[in-house]
Structures are given as structure tokens and as C-alpha cells.
Structure 1
């Protein structure tokens, strides 16, 4: 029996950590700034565990019964936590309030579990053995959950099902405990009935999880959701209204099929058309293949695409509508697709290129912000051939003015000369890019045939900035102090208020 109770410790520790990770990951997905979200969620959770441990001192009688009841409450609250958070984000303005209320409740209940279980074991073992074994299995359970969460749970189950699955584990532990502790339970059958009812409720939630997620996401987006995928890195959502397809990553719009050509023509051609001898092209990010589509207009080019998420590149290689949109660019024999972290790939590669397109998502969190630092740009510079150029998508110079000019300054502090420019994209508003090189830049006089927006006459206008978008005094973004993420978050938060 003692061994079974120690396994119980392992399972409830894993459950508690999964609920904490789900809350932190969901907050990061939906609110951005992963460091802030995980820090505050973990802090609240640990504080609540302390409150739960303190409250356990007031449980004098019926410890076994209280332990089973706590397991059932953790199962319900923790199991349905991600469901409630998704629905709250879609339908209310109380997401953050609910987030911390749920984290506090779950933490308090988890804080009650271990002290109650230790008291149940205290009559069977010496105190030192109780403490040593309970803490050992507690830490082992946390380790198991921390490995399962990114490797198995998120990519294969998603946030909603992951929480519900571990809610089922908590409820099963409660039911199993009614057997292990039957001699200490005055009414075991009543508790068993409650356990079965909670298991049934959570099972129903697990079965309906995809429908619940789709219902929430349909409310989050203006247009009908036609495709969703969850990867270890992001939530991919595709919406459609008539001929307009829109891609969202973690709730942030990436493109609209109605005007993406403006963005991608401006991203690629002002730089690449100025390099008639460019052959080897590197694209970092851009797993949708739309920038690659524009590069393939130059028949002499060969492209290496490095994108972290295989779900993205697979979607835009196999999905019929996505292949139509990118012209089958990722299927071209002139294109090599590598799924890897750009920073690590560059650090381990000796390849050099004539033109580099940096098409990462906006620097809304520190995981992405590292790809906008002086350290990253210095590393990237080593992979650019003499006379070659880099272009970086650089968010909006109107709505995130400090962030835009911080990217420009960061490139300059990395030892590059820069030429910032911008254009209007209806889906985004004013959007900015920065060309960079160790050498000079000459405006192109010719562009490939078939472009829908750019002409040789409009390219010079891109480099003109009106007064409300001109440079501001800003700091460069460094790996140890990502000021860019703070600039970006502060400026976009003001826009959305």
C-alpha cells in the first residue's frame, strides 16, 4: 500500500505541474510576453501552494475523506481550466482575472494534497522516510510532466485536452484512493460515486474538446475558422470569408490573401532586384512560402528556407488552397526546406548567401525577440557574401514606431548599413522593413514581370518617411536586455486600449 501511495504522489505532482504549464502557455499564446506570463503564473501558483499547505493544519478529522475530495476538486477545476480560459478570452474581458483566480485555486488545492497525504503516511513510516519518499516522488512527477508537456501533450492533444486528460488522472487517483484508504473512510461508496461522476464529466469534456476549442476560436475571429493545428510552438488558425483566407499564429494575423502580395513584393524585390547576380538566397521564417514565391520569379535563384515549425511548412506544402496561394513554391526543386531554430542553424552552418530575407513574427515575446538582437544580426552577417544584402520585416513604423527604429538601430550596431522603408498594407496598416548591408545600396531600375503592386517608379517612394514615422531616440535590442519586446508590447497595448 505504501508503494501505491507514493505512486499517487508522483501522479498528483505531474497533474499539478501540467495545470501550471497550461495556464502559463495559454497566457503566453493569447497575451504575448512569455517571460511575464510564466513568471506571474508560477509566482501565483507557488504562493497559492503555500496557502494550501498552511490551510492543511486546520484539517483535524477525516483526513482521508478530505484528501479524496481535494483530488476531485483539483480534477474539475484543473481539468476544465484551459476550457474556461479559452471561452473567457473569446467572450469576455476577464481573461486575466480568471487566469489568476484559477491558478490560485488550483495552487491552493495542490498545496493541500501533499500535507494531507503525508499525514496519512505518518502512521505507517518514520517521519524521515515519509518526507524523503514523498518529496522524491513529488519531484519525479514534476520532471515527467515537464518532459511530457512540450513533447507529447501540446503537439498531440492541445491545451484543452491536455488539461482534461490530467483532470481524469486526478479523478482516477481519487477513485483509487477510496480503495487504498477504505479503512479510514466512513462512507467510501459515496465518495466512489462522486469519483465516477467526475470521471464521466471529464470524459465528456475530453470528447467534446475539439468542439469547445472551435466554438471559442470562432468567437475570437471575425471570419469562420476552416482549419486549426497545434504545434509545440504555436496555434495555427486559418479563417475564410469568400475569397479571403487569413492566417493567424497564436491569435495574431500573419496575412490576408487579398493583400499579402503587397507585403511580400515589398519584402523581397527592393533588395533582390538590386542584386542581379544573386544566386543563393536564404529565407528565415516565412514558412508559408509566400516570400519564396516572390524569390522564384528570379530564374537564377536557389532558396534555402529555415523555419522552426514543421506544421507550418507541411501545411503550405500540402494544403490545396495554401499551395495555390504560394504558387507551389515549397514544392519547387530550387527550394530546400529546413525545420530548425534559425539561431542554432546559423551557428552551426558554414553556408553563405547573396540575399537573406528575415520574415519572423513580430517581437511580441522574448523567444522571438532573440532573433532581433545584435547577437543574431552579427551572426547573420557572417553568412552574407560580399555585396550581399539582408531585409528584415520590422513591424509598423506608425503604430510601433519605437520598435521599428529599434530594429534599425540594432542592425546598425551589428555593423551594418541600413535603408529603412515602408508601405501601406490594408490588413495591417503602415508596415515597415529594413534593408541592411556591409556595402552600399542602389535602387533597382527593373523588377520581375507579373508584380501586382511594385513598379520601378514606386520603389523610391517606399524610402520616404512622413513626420509621424521618422526616427526616434531608441536603444538597440540586445540578447541580455530585450528592450525591443518592451517597446513593441507597450506601443501595441496603447493601440488596443
Structure 2
């Protein structure tokens, strides 16, 4: 008695469209996110990655017309190639970042290859399914499943994959799904494929490589970071907002967010003393302080030196940052357990949205955001943001903004000053030397001129009366230049910042 081969189930093949659409968009999101982490400027990275990916898909779709022979076997090979390249893409890019002289070449090459292969998928599958459905049903079904898969990927990526798996393991997982589509098609349509041994071997080998990668994903990420950072990496964490990396040497601990240095324990006291004390020391009646950003708690540490401060509210977007710096002993030693103080309240929220509701009033505001390297951050330096903030300040309040380097990014620095003045603030720009960063700028702003004497707390290592007198003095190569005001509608500051830091 002979058994006839199982008949292919067209609807199961259509479900594979759903799977491959999800995988394709996940690879695209992973590439864009990884480029943002490593290169900064998320708008530019996502725009270029999406552009290259879609162009490559068009190239792949065009090339599909030249494919003849056994279409099913070709489709399965394409699935296995996408699975291998897409699944390994994040790991390859992490490993190359520390060694490649021009990281963008491998980045866009991998994005292009994945996009071209993904562009082959749907045309080949349409030709495979031709004759199994009426043409009108075939087209509508394929594209419906394709778009639904894209929706699923766009939801899974920020809500599940990034928080729980990270970039490298997510890529390997979806590579396994892609390989599974190929294996499913091979099993269902084996009767239509004359020589299947090579395909089975290819599918098994790719699946094994991806499974090993999924298991070792975190270690692979660490290898890449060991090459990218000058000191040994002791902690890494991917959050929905950023990649957190801590490195340590015998003499210092360094924090990197998305590969950008945030502080070194060797000299962070210079930065944070300069950020806090020139303003707060002159506000004898300040009791309520608001800190925006600064999830490491180092600015909070400086504020708590003033017994007169009764309440500090810290608003930081990333809960993983504030959790890390309030629980890890190595880090709480740096901020003197500031985030556990009964005077401190931590809010994990987007400061722009948080200030949309009535808050305060606060007597002193410290703005310690990352530099305005993209539009998402640039909105936190606009007239709209400062006007919202002013509504939450008391009549005699002041604020201070970290404002990048007046030496490297002279226009950027003075653009922040011009924007604050456009909102009606009286400004006092100043700068300090922080060896890890060079000359760094700050702008103290108030609703009326500050006239009180500086009453500094004890225990400071950098700021004293003599230092305070020197901070506002700018040499000619850092002196004021005229700039545009940074509005939400023009984001002039982001343009200045990109131009100046790219030099």
C-alpha cells in the first residue's frame, strides 16, 4: 500500500506571509535602532536605514522576474538566506562597530542585502501560489497578511522584544521564525521539489546557527562592546529608551548611554558642582527643587547638600536608570544614596509631557538632559518647553541648563541662551573645564536678576568663591554669537549641533 504525498495547504502558506512580513519589519527596526544607539541622531539613522531598506526591496522585486526554474526551491533558499543574514545582523553589526573604520559601510550593506532578499519573497510566493487561488483573492490575501504582519512587528518591537530580549537576541529569534517558514514550505511542498537533501541540510544548519546565537546573544553583545569601549565592560542593559553600558578601570567608572559618555567618576564632581551650585547657592529661600534628567542621581547628591531644601523631584524618562542608581551599591556610593533620600521623589516620565500639567511651584530647576543630537531631544530645548517650565516656577525661581560645549559647539551653546532670553528669562551663561569633556557650558536663567550672595555648602571639591568669579568669563573663541531661536517648528539647535559636532 502506497501513501500519496500530503497536499499543500494554501492557507498555511498564506500564514507564512504573515510571518515573513513580521520578520522583515523587525530586521528593519533592529537596524535602525542599533544605528541610533551606535551613531546617534535617531531621526537620521532611521530615515537612512528605512530608505536603503525600501530601495533594496524594490531592487529585489525587480530581480524576481529573472528567476526561473523551480520557484518553490528558490523561495525556500531565499527564506534560509534571510533567516541567516537577518538573524545574525545585529550580532555582526555589534561586533564590527569596534573594529570597522567606517561603520556605515557594513551597516548599509547588510540592510541592503536583507532588503533585497525580502523584496524577492512576496513576488516569489505570489508565483508559487498562482493557480491555488483566484487572482483577485490571491493578491488581496497576500497583501492583507503582509500588512497585518507589519502591524504586529511594530507593536512587538517596543513592547516585548526590546525590553525583554534586546536587539541581538530578537534578531536571532526572528531569524529562527524565518527559517521555520522555509522548513514548513519544504515539508508541505516536498512533492514539488525534485532534490530536497541540500535544502534540508541548509535549513538545519541555519536553524542550528541561529539557535546557538539566541542562546549566546548577550555574550555576543558584550564581545562587541569590549571592542567598542576603552575599558572593560562590567554592565550592559538595553531598555526601550537607550543602551546603558558601564565600564570600569582601576581608577574610574564610566557610564555610556547609546555609546555616548555621560560621566566619569574621575571628574564628574566638576560637572555636577558646576551644574548645581552657581545657581542654588544664590537662592537662599529655595526649598523645592525640580531636576529634569539626571537619572544617575549625581545632581540630586549636590542639591541635598543644602539643608534648607525640603523636597526634590527628579523626572527621568528611563525607569531602569533610576532603579540602577538607587539599588546597585557601586553606583549608590557615587551618588551618596541620593535617590533613597526621604526628601527625593522620583518620577519616570517624558519631561515634555509631564510639564503639560500644572506642577510645582518650584524654586530652582536643574535641566540635565542629553545634548540636542536629534529632534526628540531638541524639543526639550525649545521655547515651547521653557514656556511650559516657567508656569511651574515660583516668582523668584531660577533654572540652569546644561548647554553643551561653548568651544566645540559655539552656536549651539548661544542658541540655548537666545532661546531662554526669547522666553523672557534673564540669563547668566558660564562654563567650566571638565577633563572628560573639555570646556562645558551652562546657562543660569531667572525671571528677574539674581542679586543674593553665594552661600556655598561645605565639602565641595571644585566650586568656591574664586571659581564662581571665573566661570562667567568667556575668551574670544567662546564669546557670544548671534543665532536663531530654537522653536519647536524649526529645531534650529539640532541643526547647529549636528554641524558643529560633525567637524
- Fold match by TM threshold 0.5: yes
Alignment of 1:126 onto 2:126? no
Partner of 1:4: 12
Partner of 2:426: 417
Identify the range of structure 1 (328-337 vs 145-154) with the bigger mean alpha-carbon deviation.
145-154
Offset of residue 187 of structure 1: 2.1
Offset of residue 443 of structure 1: 5.9
Offset of residue 61 of structure 1: 1.8
Identify the range of structure 1 (99-108 vs 485-494) with the bigger mean alpha-carbon deviation.
485-494
1:384 & 1:366 partners in 2: Cα distance? 25
1:203 & 1:79 partners in 2: Cα distance? 10
> Is the 8 Å Cα contact of residues 270 and 444 (structure 1) preserved in structure 2?
no
Partner of 1:399: 408
Partner of 1:360: 369
Partner of 2:378: 369
Alignment of 1:487 onto 2:496? yes
Offset of residue 442 of structure 1: 2.6
Partner of 2:198: 190
> Is the 8 Å Cα contact of residues 270 and 443 (structure 1) preserved in structure 2?
no
Partner of 1:263: 271
1:303 & 1:324 partners in 2: Cα distance? 19
Structure 1 counterpart SS, 2:400: strand
Offset of residue 189 of structure 1: 3.6
1:350 & 1:485 partners in 2: Cα distance? 28
1:37-436 equivalent positions in 2, closer than 5 A: 37-301=45-309, 302-436=311-445
Offset of residue 282 of structure 1: 0.4
Offset of residue 350 of structure 1: 3.1
> Is the 8 Å Cα contact of residues 160 and 209 (structure 1) preserved in structure 2?
yes
Identify the range of structure 1 (76-85 vs 390-399) with the bigger mean alpha-carbon deviation.
76-85
1:336 & 1:43 partners in 2: Cα distance? 43
> Is the 8 Å Cα contact of residues 50 and 108 (structure 1) preserved in structure 2?
yes
Q: Give CA-to-partner distance per residue, 1:198-220, whole Å, 9 cap, x none.
A: 00011112222212111111111
Q: Give CA-to-partner distance per residue, 1:127-147, whole Å, 9 cap, x none.
A: 110110111110011011111
1:367 & 1:286 partners in 2: Cα distance? 17
1:141 & 1:390 partners in 2: Cα distance? 47
TM-score (norm. length: structure 2): 0.96
Structure 1 counterpart SS, 2:312: strand
Q: Give CA-to-partner distance per residue, 1:170-226, whole Å, 9 cap, x none.
A: 111111111122222112343122111100011112222212111111111111111
In structure 1, stretches of 5+ residues that fail to align are none
Offset of residue 23 of structure 1: 0.9
Partner of 2:453: 444
- Of residues 29, 43, 51, the one that matches 1:35 is 43
Structure 2 counterpart SS, 1:228: strand
2:476 & 2:357 partners in 1: Cα distance? 42
2:466 & 2:260 partners in 1: Cα distance? 33
2:129 & 2:462 partners in 1: Cα distance? 73
Offset of residue 444 of structure 1: 3.3
Structure 2 counterpart SS, 1:361: coil
> Is the 8 Å Cα contact of residues 358 and 391 (structure 2) preserved in structure 1?
no
Q: How many residues matched?
A: 494
In structure 2, stretches of 5+ residues that fail to align are 1-8
Q: CA RMSD in A?
A: 1.1
Offset of residue 394 of structure 1: 0.4
Offset of residue 25 of structure 1: 0.9
2:146 & 2:479 partners in 1: Cα distance? 56
> Is the 8 Å Cα contact of residues 444 and 456 (structure 1) preserved in structure 2?
no
Structure 2 counterpart SS, 1:112: helix
Structure 2 counterpart SS, 1:415: coil
2:358 & 2:331 partners in 1: Cα distance? 30
> Is the 8 Å Cα contact of residues 22 and 152 (structure 2) preserved in structure 1?
yes
Q: Give CA-to-partner distance per residue, 1:315-371, whole Å, 9 cap, x none.
A: 000010110000000000100000000001110233320100000011111111111
Offset of residue 36 of structure 1: 1.3
> Is the 8 Å Cα contact of residues 284 and 452 (structure 2) preserved in structure 1?
no
- Of residues 12, 25, 37, the one that matches 1:17 is 25
Identify the range of structure 1 (218-227 vs 326-335) with the bigger mean alpha-carbon deviation.
218-227
Structure 2 counterpart SS, 1:236: strand
Structure 1 counterpart SS, 2:355: helix
2:244 & 2:113 partners in 1: Cα distance? 30
> Is the 8 Å Cα contact of residues 365 and 400 (structure 2) preserved in structure 1?
yes
